[in-house]
Amino acid sequence: MSHRAYIFGRAGDWDRAREELISALAIVRARSDELDAARLLAQFGMLESKAGDLDAAVAWLEASLDLRTRLREHRGILLTLAALAVVMAQRGDRARAEELLARSGRMADEAVDGPGMGGVLLARAEIERLAADFEKARDALDAGLTVFYGVTGLRHYASWIHLQHAHLSLGLGDVHETERRLEFARAGFADSGTQFGLDCCAAVDAR
């Protein structure tokens, strides 16, 4: 259900994504599985941030943060803080976004947490993109690839980052870099059989 929610969210089908997450939450709560519940609450928050309901996004993410803090789930806490930082940037509260991202980054650095560092850098990229500083956003994506996504063999995840980089490069008028990143993304999506990713590459290429 969590994966189906992710797929529906990618396609912009917010209502069906919400239905899947509500069903998934009911199941894990019936099992008293608090770790999974915290993960799903965070997923719900990130879904709402993409759907544009920022108040709901904050509510879900804060609920996840409270639960993860009580469970002392280090990586979950720092990733939820990073997600909240992005939502604050969406709201136009850059100071609060920077405060939350700094806390998240300190936690990742203290634990030498590669996935956590990668998540913080992706949040940084999104915050800079929202501020229309595409060059800084590209730098953050490159740092995320260097720290984790590009060096662990996770080609599917790296492909999404290359696709984001291509989109930003297009916005900067950097045609050569756009084409180079699209090549990386297409190769990874083809290797993992991710047709939606290939379709997204084609959409950027057509612009």
**Local confidence pLDDT in tens for the 207 residues of the chain:** 788 888 889 889 999 999 999 999 999 999 999 999 999 999 999 999 999 999 999 999 999 999 999 999 999 999 999 999 999 999 999 999 999 999 999 999 998 888 899 999 999 999 999 999 999 999 999 999 998 887 777 788 899 999 999 999 999 999 999 999 999 999 999 998 989 899 999 999 888
pLDDT, position 148: 85
Long-range contact set of residues 167-175: C-beta below 8 Å, sequence gap at least 24: 167/204, 168/129, 168/134, 168/137, 168/138, 168/141, 169/134, 169/138, 170/204, 170/207, 171/134, 172/134, 172/135, 172/138
pLDDT value of residue 73: 95
pLDDT the model gives residue 111 = 87
pTM of structure: 0.90
